[in-house]
Amino acid sequence: MQASAPAPASPSTSLIGNFRQELQRHMPFAQMSAADVDFFVERAQQQYYAPGETLVEPSSGVVQHLVFIRQGAVVGTKGLAELSGGAFQYEVGDLFPVSAAVARRAVTATYRASADTFVLMLPVAQMQALASRSAAFADFLNRRILGFLELSRRALQVAYSSQALAEQSMEAPLGDVARRAPVTCRPDTPLSEALAVMHARRIGSMLVTDAPGAPLGILTRYDVLGRVALAGVALDTPISRVMVQPVHCLTHEHTAQDAALLMSRHGIRHVPVTRDGLAVGIVSERDLFALQRLSLKQVSTSIRGAADVDTLVLVAQDIRRFARNLLSQGVQARQMTALISHLNDVLAERLLELKAQQHGMDLGQVCWLALGSEGRSEQTISTDQDNALILPDDTTPAQRAAWLAFARDVNLALDACGYPLCKGGIMAGEPACCLTLLEWRERFSGWIEQGAPQDLLNASIYFDFRRLAGDEALARALRNEVTDAARRMPRFLKQLAVNALTHGAPLSWTGGLDTTTVDGRDTLDLKLQGTAIFVDAARLYALAHGVAATGTRERLESAGPLMGVPANESGAWVGAFEFMQVLRLHAQLEGTTIGDNPNRVDVKSLNDIDRRILKESFRVARQLQQRMQLDYER
């Protein structure tokens, strides 16, 4: 129940000076002017609460006051408190409930005094007036989102840690562990040929099978010393003469634990995996150790060692598993998307190498560009391919045709690896995306000078280009020219801003989430309505201030000081953007997105913490858009 104390009273004039000194020992008052602190004190009301009495609870309705604790303590229970692992306590000098007061909504927790407690209660209308006159106070209110991000990250970590441990446990079926086709040969294969393949493929065993693919024997590199070298066996000897037989096999339904026991019983390091009697994989002792932790090195090494596209198709699946592990380890959004993009880069680079060899092309003569989210190193799990090719200016028609054929082959192979073909045709295998440096310069200049709707749409993808493979000088020359041309054309920057403001943050006039009903559920598009706002703003301000970075975080961090923006404000931009990135990854990994849109989520599926932070993140996005309006719509 509400305290039955006398009606609140404003501090007397004689107490204002004492209260000012008291408040200025705490943030944000320590950064505020004396006049602004006095503004708070003069308009606040004193109130006493006995132990156990309730200050505010969800049923109280929309929050009416921002509360400062002068003496005592307040405990919050339920809502956010339960999701964060128990009750939480506000102590002397704390302000609460900031998020609810700013958003003009009811609290989600119940706040009770845990001791004799004296507070100053500032009406929300006066809080807003103070924020309009005090930048330090406004910054404190705006950066509340940053205070919850770590809590949300820990919640995700807990949610994924048990799942990741289950996926990596010794109970995993061998069909999931040994997913790559085994390297095999026939019994009559000469030793020299088998050993050459083992050396070239960097594998520790050669499985010998009959024509249908049933295992007959195995030769490991540990057998070579005793069975071949020391025995003086000629290298033209058929492998059947020295292979170990019979070979100990398990089926795809056996577990990693079964393989570990089999290896221990027989002193072996490799176990072929069969399905219907035919070899479908091979699990090694190293694979079992790797189950305990799928590392960046392991995944990247597997990708770089892939000898063909079919193998890349298989190892590409490890990237998704690796993303799950990152979530279980509590990795931040920036590192997570950067690592995923890095592995996607490694895969694309290896595929380009394989296809260049196949087509007899020299990648050093051209430059393969990553565009869009890959160009920004911000790829999530569900992403299509956006790429382009820069050719040297002296490219002949025949050479251009050859590069187009190569690029189309690469695009198809990327599609097979799980990176769908771009529906808009923004791929290096399309004639419009396979141009000489001069042609690219003319194309970018046309977009900047004309600024038609399609030009602005192109800018949202092409302007985030990054060299992935080939001649870095070609990409550098294009980047310098694009940056300089954009800065010289204020009209183009204004058009970019107007285009970026087309989609506003999905907040209703009351400050609630403005959702769209899809399949009977209240949904939001976390990309179109969320991260895209920050991506567009970052691109705009990067071009306007000559920032060469392509990543959204780097752009915001670099452009902020050049814009004269306080670090707290630009930090809130980054925090909101990266929180939405984590939500996108979470939904994509869980398969909880709505319909065929990998970025649309059911708001009710989010926990209380994430819903609160998401709303705060949209508030930050709206404030960023308001800044863009002031800067470019005057």
pLDDT tens for 68-90 read 999 998 887 754 433 333 345 67
Q: Which CATH class is domain 174-292?
A: alpha beta
pLDDT (tens digit per residue) in 176-187: 888 778 999 999
Give CA 230 to chain center in angstroms. 53
For domain 340-485, give the CATH superfamily. Beta Polymerase, domain 2 (3.30.460.10)
Sheet with 521-525, strands from edge to edge, namely 516-518, 521-525, 600-602
Q: Which CATH class is domain 498-632?
A: mainly alpha
- Please tell me the predicted confidence (pLDDT) of residue 287: 78
Calculate mean pLDDT across residues 578-592: 84
Q: How confident is the model at residue 92 (pLDDT cuts 50, 70, 90)?
A: confident
Calculate mean pLDDT across residues 86-108: 79
Domain boundaries, the chain: 13-142, 174-292, 340-485, 498-632
pLDDT (tens digit per residue) in 233-256: 999 999 999 999 999 999 998 988
For domain 13-142, give the CATH number.
2.60.120.10
- Beta-bridge partner residues of 391: 436
CA–CA separation, 595 vs 520, rounded Å? 12
Residue that wins the pLDDT comparison between 220 and 611: 220
Contacts of 225 (CB under 8 A, 6+ apart): none
Look at the alpha carbons of 54, 58, 64, 65 in this order and tell me if their dihedral is positive or negative: positive
- Beta-bridge partner residues of 208: 185, 217
User: Considering the chain, what is the average pLDDT of its residues?
Assistant: 84
CA–CA separation, 320 vs 333, rounded Å? 15
Q: Is the pLDDT of residue 31 over 70?
A: yes
Q: Is the pLDDT of residue 471 over 60?
A: yes
pLDDT (tens digit per residue) in 553-578: 999 999 999 999 988 889 899 999 98
Q: Is this prediction's pTM over 0.75?
A: no
Which phi and psi (to 5°) does residue 216 adopt?
Answer: -115, -35
Calculate mean pLDDT across residues 304-332: 77
- Please tell me the predicted confidence (pLDDT) of residue 91: 80
- Please tell me the predicted confidence (pLDDT) of residue 36: 94
pLDDT (tens digit per residue) in 137-157: 887 786 654 545 554 554 444
pLDDT (tens digit per residue) in 397-446: 999 999 999 999 999 999 999 889 998 899 999 999 999 999 999 999 98
Mean pLDDT check: name the lowest of 304-313, 330-339, 368-377, 520-529: 330-339
Q: Which long-range contacts (CB under 8 A, 24 or more apart) does 264-273 make?
A: 269/204, 269/205, 269/220, 269/222, 270/204, 270/205, 270/218, 270/220, 271/174, 272/182, 272/207, 272/215, 272/218, 272/247, 272/248, 273/174, 273/175, 273/177, 273/178, 273/249
CA angle 568, 574, 576 (to 5 degrees): 100
Residue that wins the pLDDT comparison between 580 and 169: 580
Q: Is the pLDDT of residue 292 over 60?
A: no
Cis peptide before 28 (omega within 30 of 0): yes
Calculate mean pLDDT across residues 577-587: 87
pLDDT (tens digit per residue) in 541-554: 999 998 888 899 99
Tokens at residue 225, please? Answer: 């010393």
CA–CA separation, 553 vs 578, rounded Å? 8
